[in-house]
Amino acid sequence: MTETPTPKEVLSSLHYSAETERVIPTCLKIGGFKLANPVALAPMAGVTDLPMRELCVELGAGMAVAEMLTSDPKLLASRKSSLRRRHSAKGGLRSVQIVGSEPQQLANAARLNADDGADVIDINMGCPAKKVCKKAAGSALLADEDRVAEILKAVVSAVDVPVTLKIRTGVSPQQRNGVAIAKIAEDAGIQLLTVHGRTRADRFKGEAEYHTIERIVDAVSIPVLANGDITTPAQALAVLQKTGAAGIMIGRAALGRPWLPGAIAQSLAGLRTPLPSLAERFLQMRCHLTALHDFHGDFMGVRIARKHVGWFIDAIENDVASSFTEWKRHFNALQDADAQQTLLQTLELRCTDNPSALRNNELAA
């Protein structure tokens, strides 16, 4: 069994020097809002719906950003957009992410969402998906710095709430222009910047790099969140020490592990972070399953639940000495919400009958 690396070991892998040790943040400010901790759940299309955001906030995330919303007015009334705009007090600070390429469309979308109760408007310039980039939106915008400036100024001028921005480190490894984009953002009035440690060309290939994030932090005075390949509290600490960022944003690492942002937040506050027991994790998933069914309805709820339970099973496979491929296949064939709950409970009994099978009982603090 490979042991979880200590913070110093992870720091060493990031070329950490004790001479550059930085103060670790314990809270985060976005305009006039102060979050309880500096760890946010990233906006992920098809993932961070209201049930997922509520769960992650309940488990300790400082903020959970909603799925990206198109700025195209023709699509704002669609069922998908309507569901993505739903919020509740249990979801915490209401940060709504918008995507598009036309400055006035984005400004209008920002105004609409602010009028609808959004606390924060986030602009997506980090998504590498082809269907987004082919419309010259998302991370494709990083190649046009003039258009970036135009969009940011239009959106900031359109609303009274804080506007934030999510980007990548640049267009390609040969053109990491993240520092230039960050300066444009600060000049335009952006109040927080999230940087994923890959370029547009990288998509999600290879390992995230944090050197450019460090340069961005040093180049601007607005808060910067570091994002990309942060999967443990130890690595979160290492990235904060390396970059000097104001906080962390967790994306794909939270799939099947909605407790991870909260565990990282606890660790950064100096608290021990025990891995949730199997019983606790199954309880979280059963509650999440019910919330998905209630939110999306009988037909879509059953289908959307499949991917969330699939991620959950993938996550526990890493901690339990068993393979659950057949269980996933069986679950994905179910057409009924009650049957899904029953199978999940059966799997829980199978796992909790042998709690000693857990390979790790604690995350590195």
Catalytic site residues? 127
Write the burial class of residue 235 (CB in 10 Å: 0-12 exposed, 13-18 middle, 19+ buried): buried
- The residues, any chain, with a CB within 8 Å of residue 214's CB and separated by 6 or more, are 242, 243, 244
Report the first-to-last Cα separation within the chain, whole angstroms. Answer: 19
Q: Which residue has the tokens 């992410």?
A: 97
Give 246's Cβ-side CA count (13 Å radius).
Answer: 21
Q: What is the 8-class DSSP label of residue 97?
A: E
CB-based burial, 83-93: b 16+ in 10 Å, e otherwise? ebbebeeebbb
Scan for tokens 């609303």, then name that residue. 159
Bridge partners of residue 70, in order along the sequence:
99
C-alpha torsion sign, points 331, 337, 339, 342 = positive
Nearest-angstrom CA–CA distance, 157 and 138? 20
Distance, in Å, from the CA atom of 210 to the CA atom of 237, rounded to the nearest integer, reads 13
Is the Cβ–Cβ distance between 56 and 62 less than 8 Å? no
Angle between helices 233-243 and 260-268 (to 10 degrees): 60
Tokens matching residue 267:
């660790």
Query: By the 8 A CB rule, do 178 and 170 touch?
Result: yes
> How far is the CA of 237 from the CAs of 38, 164, 248, in angstroms?
12, 23, 9
Structure tokens at 37: 């901790």
